[in-house]
Amino acid sequence: MDLGSIFFLALFFGLMWPLGRWHRGRESLAPAVFAGLLLGLALGGLLQLARGWGVARSEVLPWVALVGDGYVNLLYVLVMPLVLVSILAAVVRVSDTQSLGRVSAAVLAVLLGTTAVAALVGVFMAQLFGLSAEGLVEGSREAARAEVLSERMGQVSGLSIPEILVSFIPENIFADLSGSRDTSVIAVVIFAVLLGLAALGVRRESPAQGAKIEEAVSLAQVWIMKLVRLVMAFTPYGVMALVTELIASSSWADILSLLGFVVASFLAIGLMFLFHGLLLLLNGISPLHYFAKVWPVLVFAFSSRSSAATIPLNVETQIDELGNSPAIANFSASFGATIGQNGCAGIYPAMLAVMVAVPMGIDVLDPLWLASLVAVVVISSFGIAGVGGGATFAALVVLPTMGLPVTIAALLISVEPLIDMARTALNVNGAMTAGTLSQRWLGDRLPPAEEAVTG
């Protein structure tokens, strides 16, 4: 390793000490996350400049990724235990099972409704910027990506709505607890609900045994939430490493070559954030106060590109900062990681559909075609994986259903990571918005038994 690389790594790891010391003196994560973001931007920019000074990114970035990817992996470890125990605890503490149906219906209504709006925003933004698949150049990376998409296309082509819904039902809960499928999170939610309903049945037949089950579940939840908070303490370092890696590895030439698509995508995402804020405002919730509390979650979602990995931080923020009930927080975070993702399942496939349809002579503003596209987008948003690449899966479902080719998804690979980060932040914000609105609508109707111990 050259001297410049050693110096940069010493600087990177050396800055963790003052960041950690500053973080320990504060109760809130927000200031430390913001400091980690700024340090990541500075270090990533420095590493970009250092290429001209002989610093090898190939030697530096793996060590940076050790911190960033290691933190993300720790969060992935938390996802399934947190979902299982938290949903189970929510069900066990409910005396009126109808409230679970109300929570699920409210959360899904917001997620799917905002996804439909996101699809319309994607269509009109693509039209406004005159985006088209014509003129896009296919290089070696794009050709390789096209081959991968062709293979993946065979996995999703021909899937009917009943087959998609069947994929939510757990067949092997141990496999789903390992995250083996794109729909594993929803499968674990379903299993936890069924396990909780069984516990309620035991409580009705034998109150003494039911009380023991509830006590055991409460203890497990306290234990898991303590583990969540332990891992959350590493968030500022994870954000610093992820942002450093992002900035250092970005290709600005590729971004400039597809600048129109990048700008249109970010504007569409920004409009959906405004729409979320409008929904909150119309329901008597201050958008400014809301975003002041959730922005550390959005920063992590942006840097990690994973809705699933953000679930622990999402749940904790909804409960501790937004005051949402544990049941609503867990349902909205879990559903939002795989259903109704506004960015990946809403905006992205709709924009691609317009870009392909226009050169084919299709009137994308025709009400029938537009309604068909929105319906397909909403339906296909079920089961979108909450990890990087979920948007591609959505496109592979939407485009063939609309009779459109999928090769355009390969032609945009050079700017995908940058846009995917903003889309992920929007996905996570949609889940938190769904939880917050559901709390406003149902908070007074939820039974006191749903109060949970959060450790």
- Per-residue pLDDT, 322: 94
| Two structure tokens written together for 430 | 């949609």
- Per-residue pLDDT, 135: 56
Axis crossing angle, helix 98-128 with helix 416-442, rounded to the nearest 10: 140
- Per-residue pLDDT, 169: 87
Helices (H), 283-336: 287-304, 311-320, 326-336
| Two structure tokens written together for 52 | 């001209």
- Per-residue pLDDT, 281: 97
CA distances from 452 to 100, 448, 449, 455 (A): 15, 10, 8, 9
Tens-binned pLDDT, residue by residue, of the chain (455 aa):
677 788 888 988 998 888 887 767 666 677 888 888 889 889 888 888 776 565 667 788 889 989 988 988 888 888 889 888 888 887 887 655 667 788 889 999 999 999 999 999 999 999 998 888 765 544 444 444 445 445 555 555 555 667 767 877 888 999 988 887 777 888 888 899 899 889 989 988 999 998 999 899 989 988 988 888 888 888 889 889 988 888 887 766 666 667 788 899 999 999 999 999 999 999 999 999 999 999 999 998 988 888 888 888 899 899 989 999 888 998 899 888 878 889 988 999 899 999 888 888 899 899 999 999 999 899 878 766 545 456 777 777 788 778 887 777 656 666 677 788 899 999 999 999 999 999 999 875 554 434 433 33
Question: For residue 115, what is the enclosing H or E element?
Answer: helix 98-128
Residue the block writes with tokens 């083996």: 180
Angle at 274 between CA 250 and CA 68, to 5 degrees: 30
At a CB cut-off of 8 Å and minimum separation 6, what does 17 contact?
none
**Cα distance between the two ends of the chain:** 45
| Amino acid present at 263 | V
Report DSSP letters for 26-69, one per residue. -S-SHHHHHHHHHHHHHHHHHHHHHGGGT--HHHHHHHHHHHHH
Which fold would CATH assign to domain 3-447? Answer: Proton glutamate symport protein (1.10.3860)
For residues 84 and 82, what is the distance between their CA atoms, to the nearest angstrom?
Answer: 6
List the one residue out of 439, 454, 337, 338 whose CA is nearest residue 99: 439
For residues 122 and 259, what is the distance between their CA atoms, to the nearest angstrom?
Answer: 16
For the chain, the structural domain boundaries read 3-447
- Per-residue pLDDT, 216: 94
- Per-residue pLDDT, 430: 96
Structure pTM? 0.79
Long-range contact list for 330-333, CB < 8 A, 24+ apart?
330/82, 330/83, 330/86, 330/87, 330/90, 331/87, 331/90, 331/103, 331/104, 331/107, 331/189, 331/435, 331/438, 332/107, 332/111, 332/431, 332/432, 332/434, 332/435, 332/438, 333/431, 333/432, 333/435
CB 343 within 8 A of CB 391: yes
| Two structure tokens written together for 355 | 């870009």
